Amino acid sequence: MASIELRHVSKRYAPTVYGVRDVSLRIEDGEFIIFLGPSGCGKSTTLRMIAGLESVSDGEILIGGQAVNAIPPRDRNVAVVFQSYALYPHMSVAQNMAFGLKMRGTDPGLIRSKVDQAATLLGLTPYLDRKPAALSGGQRQRVALGRAIVRDPAAFLLDEPLSNLDAQLRGEMRLELVKLHRRLGRTIVHVTHDQVEAMTMGDRICIMRGGAMIQVGRPLEVYANPAETFVARFLATPPMNLMPAVLRGAGGDDLVVETGEGLALAVPSPYRSAYAAYRDKPVILGLRPEDFYEAPHASDWQPVPFTVVAVEALGAELVLVGQVGATGGVAPQKIAPPQEIAVRLSRHVVAEPGQMLTLSLDPNPMHLFDVETTRLIPRPAPGVPARRVA
Amino acid sequence: MSTAFGSTRSNIGLHVGLMAMCLVIVLPPLWVLRTSLVPEPQAYSTSVMPGFTLDNYIALLTRNKFGVFYLNSVVVALGSVVVALPFAAMTGYAFARFRTGGRFARFLVLATQMLPPVALVLPTFAIFRATGLTNSVPGLILAYAAINLPFLTWILMGFFEGVPIDLEWAAMTDGATAWGAFWRIVVPVSLPGLAAAGVLGFILSWNEFLFALVLTGPSTQTIPVALASLQSSNGVQIAKVSAGVVLAVLPLVIASRFIQRFIVQGLTFGSVK
């Protein structure tokens, strides 16, 4: 078991071309951390640098407190599971799983018992004599995991191991990996671009973009307080609705966020002092689709006229895409052309394209972002978390 | 019905056309086979099969020592592949995976292939004469290995570039050294490519004429040189030459069968998706 520490780690391909830029992170012993980001954000490169498969241009990587920059992959005691599985095609399942131990000169009897144990754990016993070509995608994925498990490494590095599986199998394997982590207690670094994996599997998420680390934190913390508009949009499906807006005074300390669509949202009183510096300045308003409801559940919730453009009935819930209309009292002011937003409602709501609805918006989870930096404008945490009531 | 009839008619037309094209390609080799089985005096006859004899083959193998030359060709072609292939594999792998020498080195390797063989054969002869390698089978093996090396390196470089690097990375995190990953994973996975390259190298050596003509003597001749020697000042013994051509082509026909199988066979399937 081992902690992994990255100290100002960079990967440069040319003097000014960075794959990874100044990443510092400490992954605790036994922690399950997710590297999340879009393609080309540097998450796989970071993982390969931890494994020793890519050299580190700047900075230092420590595994178990020991600097490993100059240590070859075979001596780092980490196991990598690749997106492509990378099973040796000329070897049987048993030989694939035994390869790492054989390379380390382990006693053949011990190899056999460890392979048998891992095969039992992963349900691979009937396939031990088969070649990878004769296995399904899910079975190959299990063999790749088995090959990592038999070595009993200090840390598992998983490079998008579920992305080649179909949706159902991916769901099952997600659960399997979480169980495996609980059973083995090893450090796991899991690279993915799938938000569901990020939200459900890890102890912490590390979100990356353009080679840089944007935000690290517990999944629900990051979800509740995205550091930037990028995180706000990337971490959920449908993503957070972001609308250009202006923060205006409404008498005394009161503030109102006005959007181009005519939405005028009174800022909850606990946030007023935090947002005071942005009075009369443009901001970006962020509202999660699930902060809209079909009926109000608190007195400070605000009615929002909503014209349905498209309906996505997902069975368990209903996602409506549409445009926001004017709310009562405040005159609409054009800031930007009206944009479509997504709202997530109960599956019992009946809606059709073209229909006009009046939704209720819980303003407490609202976020405001700085227009220039796109970073979150800090505010106190919402007092009472919103509860969905069907 | 008319559509079916029309399609049948166009099918017949297509097949007649294809058969005509096939005849254009197949007729010359078939005529060589026919001439090799006809007595020498009737070889130029216009009739399809004026007679049948195996004398041409028997004469070649007994009086003209074709058996010896055949063996020379087999030993030289196989030997050159055995010598060149390991070096080509290692060089090709280095070019495919590392920045060894950059692009310049890749093209430098091909430099010898860009010169006409006649420009290389004389310096080679001078070196061989100085080292006593002329008129020897090992000498010719060395020369052919050197000729094959750049060609095989390039073929294998392309093949290794197609082997997923994840396999080597997996081996290296599993405890293998870079050499171990190459030897235990890349080489077995690349066997079809190595076999294809080997067969191509064999064909190249088997057909080579100029170096064999200059570097060999009466006892170390290879098949192409022996075939050429059948054209004497008294004329061409066309039936014997045809028999020699049939014998010379035989291993290539077998080799091409293998090369098809190896190239088509995708051993890497199932390793990565």
Model confidence pLDDT, tens digit, residues A373-383: 999 999 888 75
DSSP string, A5-55: EEEEEEEEEETTEEEEEEEEEEE-TT-EEEEE-STTSSHHHHHHHHHTSS-
Tell me the shortest Cα–Cα distance from B262 to chain A, in angstroms: 15
Q: Is residue A330 predicted with pLDDT exceeding 50?
A: no
The model's confidence at residue B271, banded by pLDDT at 50, 70 and 90, is very low
Q: Is residue A61 predicted with pLDDT exceeding 90?
A: yes
Confidence at residue A59, expressed as pLDDT on a 0 to 100 scale: 96
If you average pLDDT over every residue of chain B, what do you get?
A: 87
Average pLDDT for A315-331:
72
Place of tokens 């093209």: B107
DSSP string, A279-341: TTSEEEEEE-GGGEESS--STT-EEEEEEEEEEEE-SSEEEEEEEE-PPSSS----SS---EE
In the 8-state DSSP scheme, what is residue A269?
G
Please check whether residues A154 and A67 belong to one and the same domain: yes
Q: Which two tokens stand for residue A282?
A: 């443009």
Confidence at residue B266, expressed as pLDDT on a 0 to 100 scale: 40
The model's confidence at residue A1, banded by pLDDT at 50, 70 and 90, is low
| C-alpha separations of A153 from A45, A120, B114, B148 in Å | 20, 19, 52, 45
Partner-chain contact A132 B271, CB within 8 Å: yes
Please check whether residues A309 and A216 belong to one and the same domain: no
- Provide the H-helix boundaries in chain A: 43-51, 93-103, 108-122, 137-149, 167-184, 195-201, 219-224, 229-234, 272-275
pLDDT in tens, A84-94: 999 999 999 99
Please check whether residues A124 and A206 belong to one and the same domain: yes
Which chain B residues touch A45 with a CB distance below 8 Å? none
**Residue A213 resides in a domain:** yes
Which chain B residues touch A51 with a CB distance below 8 Å? 169, 173
A313: β partners: A318
Confidence at residue A204, expressed as pLDDT on a 0 to 100 scale: 96
Query: Phi and psi dihedrals of B98, rounded to 5?
Result: -115, 170
The model's confidence at residue A29, banded by pLDDT at 50, 70 and 90, is very high
Q: Is residue A331 predicted with pLDDT exceeding 60?
A: no
Q: Is residue B13 predicted with pLDDT exceeding 50?
A: yes
Comparing CB atoms, the residue among B176, B188, B272 nearest residue A103 is B176
**Residue A43 resides in a domain:** yes
Edge-to-edge order in the sheet of strand A4-14: A17-27, A4-14, A58-63, A66-67
A10: β partners: A58
The model's confidence at residue A260, banded by pLDDT at 50, 70 and 90, is confident
**Residue A380 resides in a domain:** no
DSSP string, B101-166: THHHHHHHHTHHHHS-HHHHHHHHHHHHHHHT-TT-HHHHHHHHHHHHHHHHHHHHHHHHHHS-HH
Please check whether residues A52 and A200 belong to one and the same domain: yes
Q: Which domains does chain B have, with CATH numbers?
A: 2-55 (no CATH), 56-264 (1.10.3720.10)
The model's confidence at residue A31, banded by pLDDT at 50, 70 and 90, is very high
Please check whether residues A217 and A251 belong to one and the same domain: no
Please check whether residues A203 and A242 belong to one and the same domain: no
Helix or strand (DSSP H, E) at B23: helix B2-36
Confidence at residue A160, expressed as pLDDT on a 0 to 100 scale: 92
Query: Phi and psi dihedrals of B9, rounded to 5?
Result: -60, -45
Please check whether residues A261 and A180 belong to one and the same domain: no
Q: Is residue A252 predicted with pLDDT exceeding 90?
A: no
Which chain A residues touch B177 with a CB distance below 8 Å? 72, 74
Which chain B residues touch A151 with a CB distance below 8 Å? 174-175
The model's confidence at residue B113, banded by pLDDT at 50, 70 and 90, is confident
The total number of residues written for chain A in this structure: 390
CA angle A196/A200/A201 to nearest 5° reads 110
Average pLDDT for A319-332:
65
Partner-chain contact A133 B270, CB within 8 Å: yes
Residue of B nearest to A155 (CA): B173
Confidence at residue B224, expressed as pLDDT on a 0 to 100 scale: 92
Please check whether residues A312 and A280 belong to one and the same domain: yes
Question: From CA B4, how far away is CA A390, in angstroms rounded?
Answer: 65
Q: Is residue B158 predicted with pLDDT exceeding 60?
A: yes
B123 upstream amide cis, omega within 30 of 0: no
Count of CB contacts below 8 A, A vs B?
94
The model's confidence at residue A386, banded by pLDDT at 50, 70 and 90, is very low
> Which residue in A147, A166, A26 sits closest to A91, CA to CA?
A147
Please check whether residues A147 and A260 belong to one and the same domain: no
A206: β partners: A35, A216
Q: CATH number of the domain at A124, please.
A: 3.40.50.300
- Residue A111 near residue A142 (C-beta atoms within 8 A): no
Q: Is residue B93 predicted with pLDDT exceeding 80?
A: yes
What percent of chain B is predicted at pLDDT more than 70?
A: 93
How many domains does the structure of chain A reveal? 2
Which chain A residues touch B271 with a CB distance below 8 Å? 84-89, 132-133
Amino acid identity, residue A123? G
The model's confidence at residue B191, banded by pLDDT at 50, 70 and 90, is confident
| Residue A166: Cβ-neighbour burial (10 angstroms; 0-12, 13-18, 19+) | exposed
Partner-chain contact A74 B167, CB within 8 Å: no
3-state secondary structure of A2: coil
Comparing CB atoms, the residue among A72, A84, A88 nearest residue B185 is A88
A328 touches chain B (CB under 8 A): no
| CB within 8 Å of B199: residues ≥ 6 apart | B255, B256, B258, B259, B262
Cα torsion angle, A243, A245, A250, A255, sign: positive
Comparing CB atoms, the residue among B173, B270, B271 nearest residue A73 is B173
Which chain A residues touch B174 with a CB distance below 8 Å? 74, 79, 99-100, 103, 147, 151
Residue of A nearest to B186 (CA): A88
Partner-chain contact B268 A89, CB within 8 Å: yes
Comparing CB atoms, the residue among B167, B172, B269 nearest residue A88 is B167
Question: From CA A266, how far away is CA A377, in angstroms rounded?
Answer: 16
Q: Which residues 25-84 in chain A show a CB within 8 A of chain B?
A: 48, 51-53, 72-74, 76, 78-80, 82-84
CA angle B171/A18/A216 to nearest 5° reads 80
Please check whether residues A152 and A217 belong to one and the same domain: yes
Higher pLDDT residue, A116 or B100?
A116
Which chain B residues touch A78 with a CB distance below 8 Å? 173
Partner-chain contact A74 B269, CB within 8 Å: no
| CB within 8 Å of A380: residues ≥ 6 apart | A270, A271, A274
Which chain A residues touch B167 with a CB distance below 8 Å? 86, 88
Place of tokens 């930096």: A373
Comparing CB atoms, the residue among B169, B191, B271 nearest residue A88 is B271
Q: Is residue B259 predicted with pLDDT exceeding 80?
A: no
Please check whether residues A290 and A194 belong to one and the same domain: no
Which chain A residues touch B175 with a CB distance below 8 Å? 74, 99-100, 103-104, 151
> Which residue in B197, B190, B174 sits closest to B85, CA to CA?
B197
Please check whether residues A268 and A330 belong to one and the same domain: yes
**A259-282 residues labelled b (16+ CB within 10 A) or e (exposed):** bbbbbbbbbbeebbeebeebeeee
Question: From CA B192, how far away is CA B189, in angstroms rounded?
Answer: 8
Question: From CA B118, how far away is CA B191, in angstroms rounded?
Answer: 34
Comparing CB atoms, the residue among B167, B172, B270 nearest residue A53 is B172
Confidence at residue B100, expressed as pLDDT on a 0 to 100 scale: 76
**Structural domain span for residue A27:** 4-233
Q: CATH number of the domain at A288, please.
A: 2.40.50.140
Query: Phi and psi dihedrals of A189, rounded to 5?
Result: -110, 120
The model's confidence at residue B263, banded by pLDDT at 50, 70 and 90, is low
**Domain end: A168, A200, A233, which one?**
A233
Partner-chain contact A147 B170, CB within 8 Å: yes
Tell me the shortest Cα–Cα distance from B1 to chain A, in angstroms: 46
Place of tokens 């022996």: B226
| C-alpha separations of A124 from A18, A121, A138, A140, B222 in Å | 41, 8, 11, 10, 56
Tell me the shortest Cα–Cα distance from A73 to chain B, in angstroms: 5
pLDDT in tens, A168-227: 888 888 998 999 899 889 999 999 999 999 999 999 999 999 999 999 999 999 999 999
| CB within 8 Å of A226: residues ≥ 6 apart | A215, A232, A235, A240, A286, A367, A376
Tell me the shortest Cα–Cα distance from B261 to chain A, in angstroms: 17
Q: Which residues 280-319 in chain A show a CB within 8 A of chain B?
A: none
> Which residue in A52, A41, A46 sits closest to A79, CA to CA?
A52
Strands A32-36 and A187-192: parallel
Query: Phi and psi dihedrals of A57, rounded to 5?
Result: -75, -45
Residue of B nearest to A143 (CA): B271
A228: β partners: A375
